[in-house]
Amino acid sequence: MSEFKHAMIDIETLGNQSRSAISQISVVEFDLETGDTGREFDINVDIKDCVHQGLEMNVDTVMWWMKQSKEARAKFEETERYSLDRSLELLSNYISNSGIQNVWGNSARFDLGILSDAYNTVGREIPWDFRNELDVRTLVFFKPEVKDNCTFIGTPHDAIDDCKHQIRYCSLIWKLMNNG
């Protein structure tokens, strides 16, 4: 079991409403005080299977994806993808084999909410307590300039890179708030 108590979760979706189809799920364990990171979880989800299970795609989101970078769109061409049920089983295993106490989303309502919808859709138990959800946007509200000045490393909208970026500025904000 790892020592990290926080997990940054980012999902990529084909919609921006509740019950949206999911294309990628990424998680990175981290230490909020130091910004150190631990184990990573990163999988592509079978979008067609999401829709078969009753999750939804949204035209505006699909149009938005078409305007994103070649690197971000390339994720959709990756052929190794898991069914929604298997994806969530793997995510549950990852979380239960960790020391994770708090899960973060940007916002919590979006990433963690859509994931919760997906868990409900396949009839699996959500592997965290809703009381332990924390929100990236709330932290950014206190020090927006830190996020604005944080250089992105990697590909925006590749969920694993988004997780690491969010961890970098959240831990910087945390440090600033705790050192006056």
For Mg ion, the binding residues (CB under 5 A) are 10, 159, 162
Q: How far is the CB of 156 from Mg ion (least distance, A)?
A: 8
Nearer of residues 65 and 175 to Mg ion, judged by Cβ: 65
Q: Tokens 């944080």 correspond to what residue?
A: 150
Nearer of residues 40 and 129 to Mg ion, judged by Cβ: 40
Q: How far is the CB of 1 from Mg ion (least distance, A)?
A: 27
Contacts of 48 (CB under 8 A, 6+ apart): none
User: For residue 171, which of 1, 21, 25, 5 has the smallest C-alpha distance?
Assistant: 5
Q: How far is the CB of 178 from Mg ion (least distance, A)?
A: 27
Nearer of residues 30 and 99 to Mg ion, judged by Cβ: 30
Nearer of residues 29 and 162 to Mg ion, judged by Cβ: 162
Cα–Cα distance between 140 and 146 in angstroms, integer?
8
C-alpha distances (whole Å) from 24 to each of 3, 31, 68, 119 are 25, 23, 15, 15
Q: How far is the CB of 5 from Mg ion (least distance, A)?
A: 22
